[in-house]
Amino acid sequence: GSVLGSTVANAADSAIDNILSTGELKVCFEAGYIPFEMKTKDGRFIGFDIDVSKHMARAMGVKFVPVNTAWDGIIPALQTGKCDIINGGMGITPERNLKVLFADTYLEMGQTVLVTPEVAAEITDYRDLNDPKYNLVSQIGTTGAIAAKKYFPNAQLNLFETSADSVLQVKNGKADAFVYDLPYNAMYAAQNKGGVVHLDEAFTYEPLGWAIRQDDVNFLNFLNNYLVQIKKDGTYDRIYDKWFNS
């Protein structure tokens, strides 16, 4: 509810009320995270999360409305009501979970590294990157940035606003390694053969989940039951195969 113009929700309010009354499911994500959310040349949003979001909106009988948001401000965007849900490859971390509710895990993965062909020739293991002579990159505010600090404290680290800017440093030989989510790195390596080398052993465990505002148990209950439904009725596998096995 709105109290004196404030947008702070009452504990009793559910995003469901707003979704149904406006006929729109507003979904926050940051395009540029392959193969979960990408922007096409003609300005459409595509990817695994996008297809699931569209299906979710249909299940609620409403329209899917994409809200492409800088990763760095994506939790504030949810908290201030710019969207109803974050469906954007977000890792369920304890730190984030103190600010938002997460529905049950929809995909499990972990962090890996993309290195230059030169670095690939001189190291045998991702652990070898923990050396001051190596210059690592990742995206601001991501679990990749956290993992880089935790697992490679002795290396140099530069953070960039987007994953594309970060990984380009490695592709152009300006940085030695990009620390990021395994699915992204696997796909980027496949699309840039010879330019980068993927060390595909994940060294963290990261569950991904849909984030919603705190206290909204009604929406949380809807989402967890919806997730079980799509996992059991073939919808999830159909969308997964489209983006991960083609």
Site of interaction with ligand ARG (CB under 6 A): 29-30, 33, 37, 71, 88-91, 139, 142-143, 163, 181
Q: How far is the CB of 182 from ligand ARG (least distance, A)?
A: 10
Nearer to ligand ARG, 9 or 90 (CB): 90
Q: How far is the CB of 78 from ligand ARG (least distance, A)?
A: 14
CA distances (Å), 159 to each of 8, 20, 115, in order?
Answer: 32, 39, 16
Nearer to ligand ARG, 51 or 123 (CB): 51
98: helix, strand or coil? coil
Nearer to ligand ARG, 35 or 57 (CB): 35
For residue 187, count other CB atoms closer than 10 A to its CB: 16
3-state DSSP helix/strand/coil % of the chain, to nearest 5? 40, 25, 35
Q: How far is the CB of 132 from ligand ARG (least distance, A)?
A: 25
Answer positive or negative: Cα dihedral of 155, 156, 159, 165: negative
d(CA 47, CA 89): 11
Q: How far is the CB of 193 from ligand ARG (least distance, A)?
A: 23
Nearer to ligand ARG, 60 or 159 (CB): 159
